[in-house]
Amino acid sequence: MEKIINDVYVDWIEKVKVLQKAVIVNDCGLILALKRPADCPRPRPGCWDLPGGSVGQKDIDSWKINSGKGDNNDILIRALRREIKEETALDVENIRVIHSASGFNETKRTYIVALGYACRAKKEKNVKLSFEHSEFKWMAKNDFLDLEIGNDGGLIESILKKY
């Protein structure tokens, strides 16, 4: 049964969550790793992560007019840039998709689309963390894979392996 929800076409799915993570690389080829605070109320406290987050309704409302061309005005790219800026204060360039995956959360009745990107930090020395992370490191991919990531369903490992 087809439905129209808030002017968006949907088939049987009523809720969709788009999750995006970025492998940010510096001029030396090292990857930015972010650590979640140990007392974090969010999933995986004290674990290491890649920058990124969810695409929100504000992202869609703000950018839907100029989106859909796969360029820097695309909703996904602008939402990723926003998340990176919020979490690290970094500006990034050369953004490209390197991973995609999806799943269905039965409990929340939500279809999840996960995207992984690779990009380059414009000024790596400008990292300033938000409250969402307690520390950061620039490191080689293999060293990142040795960190405590926690149970994220294998997303971070999958993204890093495709980088």
Q: Give the per-residue pLDDT at 3.
A: 52
Amino acid identity of residue 73, one-letter, is N
CATH architecture of 15-162: Alpha-Beta Complex (3.90)
Domain boundary assignment for the chain: 15-162
Residues 133-154 have pLDDT tens digits of 999 999 999 999 999 999 888 9
> What pLDDT digit, counting tens, does each position of 74-112 carry?
788 888 999 999 999 999 999 999 999 998 888 888 889
CA dist., res. 51 & res. 35, Å (int): 10
Partners of residue 18 on adjacent β-strands = 113
pLDDT at 117 > cutoff 60: yes
**Pairwise CA distance, residues 88 & 155, whole Å:** 20
Q: Where are the beta strands (DSSP E) in 26-152?
A: 31-35, 48-49, 52-54, 92-105, 110-121, 135-139
Q: What is the mean pLDDT of residues 8-27?
A: 82
Bridge partners for 49 per DSSP:
34
User: Do 53 and 42 contact (CB within 8 A), yes or no?
Assistant: no
Question: What is the model's pTM?
Answer: 0.83
